[in-house]
């Protein structure tokens, strides 16, 4: 069954709310602030909301706690339209850079991993993140919080079939590399100075065989010790910044 998006989401925490205001990609209906509202950060956030035309409501702590039940809210939250997912066709129609860098997440289920990966992706210059419409962590407020608001600036593309998407992106001129613990090419020996799609698998299963089948490269992160592999977010971060290192400093 497909998930139904709520009419309004409640994003929370200074960084997520600040970045949602800064990005301006989705409508914020109201900024909620818990008393006392006289801290510098709260004052700056309220001023920013006013400049963006977003109403501000100041609540007593007990009222705020009833409205915002998530931990780590810092006494601020915002009522927002649901996060907007893009279509592959729409994003491909936009003029791309000469050396695009996309990421595919193959059925990651934890919103916190989605958020952590989005934060690293944004900092490493990833242009778009592709996720399956079903069996994937949603870009919900928990994911936005874990991303420190970076998701508000990322292009998140939802597709029906990842294997077909890989084939389509290859026709568009991308090289597709799967991050695979059993990959034959060490990450630091691969050439990423090409239009690139990096595929990252789920936390427990890795990249699925059908998706991996259509990838041009299978790259592995060299590591020491006896653990099987890094978790998805850590592995993604290592790979993202290797791509950036090659392109910007290699």
Mean pLDDT, range 86-107, rounded to an integer: 93
122 contacts: CB under 8 Å, gap ≥ 6: 147, 150, 153, 154
Instruction: Tally Cβ neighbours within 10 Å of residue 250.
Output: 11
pLDDT tens, position by position, 108-143: 999 999 999 999 999 999 999 999 999 899 999 999
Of 77, 98, 86, residue with least CA distance to 196:
98
pLDDT at 1 over 70: no
* pLDDT greater than 60 at residue 4: no
Q: What pTM did the predictor assign?
A: 0.92
| Contact indicator for 220, 193 with CB cutoff of 8 Å | no
| All domains of the chain in start order, with CATH | 9-80 (3.30.1330.30), 88-249 (3.40.1280.10)
The arrangement of strands across the sheet holding 156-159 comes to: 156-159, 128-132, 101-106, 196-201, 175-179, 217-220, 185-186
195, 92 Cβ separation under 8 angstroms: no
CA distance 172 to 169: 5
pLDDT per position as a tens digit, 180-193: 988 999 999 999 99
CA-based torsion, 199, 204, 208, 209: positive or negative: positive
**CB contact burial 76-88 (16+ within 10 A = b; e otherwise):** bbbbbbebeeeeb
pLDDT band (50, 70, 90) for residue 6: low
Q: What percent of the chain has pLDDT over 70?
A: 97
The DSSP call for residue 86 is B
Share of the chain above pLDDT 90, in %: 86
DSSP 21: H
Q: Is the pLDDT of residue 2 over 90?
A: no
Question: Cβ-count burial of 155 within 10 angstroms (0-12 exposed, 13-18 middle, 19+ buried)?
Answer: middle
Q: Collect all residues with Cβ–Cβ distance below 8 Å to 44 and sequence separation of at least 6.
A: none
């Amino acid at each position: 069954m497909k998930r139904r998006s709520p009419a309004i989401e409640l994003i929370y925490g200074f960084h997520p709310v600040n970045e949602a205001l800064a990005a301006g990609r989705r409508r914020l209906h109201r900024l909620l602030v818990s008393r006392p509202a006289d801290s510098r950060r709260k004052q700056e956030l309220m001023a920013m909301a006013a400049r963006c035309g977003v109403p501000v409501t100041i609540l007593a702590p007990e009222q705020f706690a009833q409205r915002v039940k998530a931990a780590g809210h810092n006494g601020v939250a915002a009522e927002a339209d649901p996060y907007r997912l893009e279509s592959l066709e729409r994003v491909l129609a936009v003029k791309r850079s000469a050396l695009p860098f996309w990421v595919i997440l193959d059925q990651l289920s934890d919103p916190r991993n989605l958020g952590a990966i989005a934060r690293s992706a944004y900092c490493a210059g990833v242009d778009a993140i592709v996720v399956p419409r079903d069996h994937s962590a949603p870009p919900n407020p928990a994911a936005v919080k874990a991303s420190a608001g970076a998701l508000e600036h990322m292009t998140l593309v939802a597709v029906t079939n990842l294997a077909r998407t890989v084939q389509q992106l290859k026709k568009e001129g991308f090289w597709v590399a799967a991050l695979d613990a059993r990959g034959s090419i060490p990450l630091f020996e691969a050439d990423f100075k090409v239009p690139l799609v990096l595929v990252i698998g789920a936390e427990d299963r890795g990249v699925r065989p059908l998706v991996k089948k259509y990838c041009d490269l299978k790259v592995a992160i060299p590591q020491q010790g006896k653990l099987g592999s890094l978790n998805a977010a850590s592995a993604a971060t290592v790979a993202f910044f290797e791509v950036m290192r090659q392109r910007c400093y290699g």
